[in-house]
Structure 1
């Protein structure tokens, strides 16, 4: 399957419709075997962007992807995230941007993914207890050592993105965003102006279950599912959007990928664009 591509950082070409691995089961058993099959099928179908994180099973998700896909196909980008750790008072997960934590999670990722370099490393969340300069400086050190190719952010505001860009070259932003959740529209606009990749997580939230009658109506007219309409709208809404829908089922994976070939008419786009005001 040939998907429209985007060059992250101006040079790293990936298909615009990626895959979020968070939902893949990592515990031993039939569900894990199914998760391995989903990851392999994603690559077979042309996916070249897979998103994971240390947070997903304390690295178990990274290990699963390596088991499924290593040695990796040419052109496959597996991006991971660091900065959320089990370092709370009772061992709970919390934002943690301290240098030693970020470096440790990164080194674990290298080992688990069986690579010597990660082409796109993202800061999972900004830790309010550590200066942004220190957090990004830790990632910049890894980049200077040749272990990281590019750096991205997750769940940031426009102000935080502007501040980060004074410190490093930000090539991607991963914020919650979908057809029915456009809170971060200003961040998307900032990314579009700067040519920064915007990776919406939960890209089919609400629409996947046909939460609004209008999405369901458009889907029926196009012979598609509400989730496909939501993904097609995202791909059409901005050229810097790279959705990363996640699933643990092959049929849902194939359904999501089919959205890359769904064409919305101007009338359909207008109806979907008006949903935000209607929902308000």
Structure 2
């Protein structure tokens, strides 16, 4: 496994997103033992970047990761997120990146993760009610106290990134980025490279769509992120199957799986990119990490890059309003 830098953090080229082990999908939270085995197998394969958040569950995903990493803490760069739980009474799915709320959030995350420090602490979504300078300053204080090593942002736009970075250096920005979600290439990615900030793409497999295994949405239950999602609905879904078919065709040519091709395409975009494909299964983490050794040809990269944009928005309207893209 190769490694890259996210600011001063040295991380594996491919990380692991733990969200789906507890949250977001139809069968999330149904097999904790397999999730723990998946985390341990990831470590064996050289994965060092492990990603979670207090909102996943809420809380239970951090607890799961904390239990799984007991005795392995020094082997990982542990990332979690604040800002989608208001600890002053409003509760989960409430934007709150005020300094007082960050103080409450970090103590809970440290306790659940069973650690005395968080390596990479992201603002989960930009809070329009709190100046980003105040949020960055609060995380900077935690860094000074040794409770946090590095500051990150998630789904932040160029102006927010610049303003935050001016107060407290931002090590990484986490955003959805894949063959079917490429909006950050024009506005965000140039700013990250100007400021030497790493990019951590989440959902690099399009919530499973780019693996080619999803040919129907019938199995999605209410509560699954994909249930009623614009890209997984009606005519949009049928049009988007053509993208999956093209990825499959390149995979057959490359002697790889569609998932590996989708991840390898991201890795080819630069050595400042560390995707975090999420899974709760050992077989999938083995498949995904093997993408690190796949080298696509220039022709294959161009073919993939020329695919049409996915039909439909990435999120329903309410969730989309929290994104800066």
Does the residue aligned with 1:172 lie in a helix, a strand or coil? strand
| Residue 207 (1) aligns with residue 210 (2) | yes
Counterpart in the other structure of 2:283: 251
Counterpart in the other structure of 2:5: 7
Counterpart in the other structure of 1:126: 126
Counterpart in the other structure of 1:19: 16
C-alpha contact 1:81 1:124 (8 A) present in aligned 2: yes
C-alpha contact 2:200 2:275 (8 A) present in aligned 1: yes
Aligned pairs (5 A) from 1:155-170: 155-170=155-170
Per mean C-alpha deviation after superposition, the further-off stretch among 141-150 and 262-271 is: 141-150
Distance 1:16 1:90 in 2: 37
Counterpart in the other structure of 2:262: 230
Q: After superposition, give the CA deviation of every residue in 1:66-98 in whole Å (9 maximum; x if it has no partner).
A: 211212254411111111115698745111112
| Residue 187 (1) aligns with residue 188 (2) | yes
Compute the displacement of 1:166 (Å). 1.5
Counterpart in the other structure of 2:222: none
C-alpha contact 1:18 1:242 (8 A) present in aligned 2: yes
Q: Quick one: higher RCO (CA 8 Å, sep 6+), 1 or 2? A: 2
Compute the displacement of 1:133 (Å). 1.5
Distance 2:92 2:10 in 1: 37
- TM-score, normalised via structure 1 length: 0.91
Distance 2:97 2:29 in 1: 34
Distance 1:89 1:229 in 2: 45
| Residue 267 (1) aligns with residue 299 (2) | yes
Counterpart in the other structure of 2:236: none
Q: After superposition, give the CA deviation of every residue in 1:88-120 in whole Å (9 maximum; x if it has no partner).
A: 987451111122221111011111112112121
C-alpha contact 1:82 1:105 (8 A) present in aligned 2: yes
User: Can you give the 5+ residue segments of structure 2 that lack an aligned partner in the other structure?
Assistant: 214-240, 313-325
- TM-score, normalised via structure 2 length: 0.79
CA RMSD of aligned residues (A): 2.4
Does the residue aligned with 2:122 lie in a helix, a strand or coil? strand
Compute the displacement of 1:276 (Å). 4.0
C-alpha contact 2:22 2:29 (8 A) present in aligned 1: no
Compute the displacement of 1:151 (Å). 0.5
Distance 1:176 1:30 in 2: 25
Compute the displacement of 1:208 (Å). 2.0
Does the residue aligned with 2:204 lie in a helix, a strand or coil? coil
User: Can you give the 5+ residue segments of structure 1 that lack an aligned partner in the other structure?
Assistant: none
Distance 2:152 2:254 in 1: 35
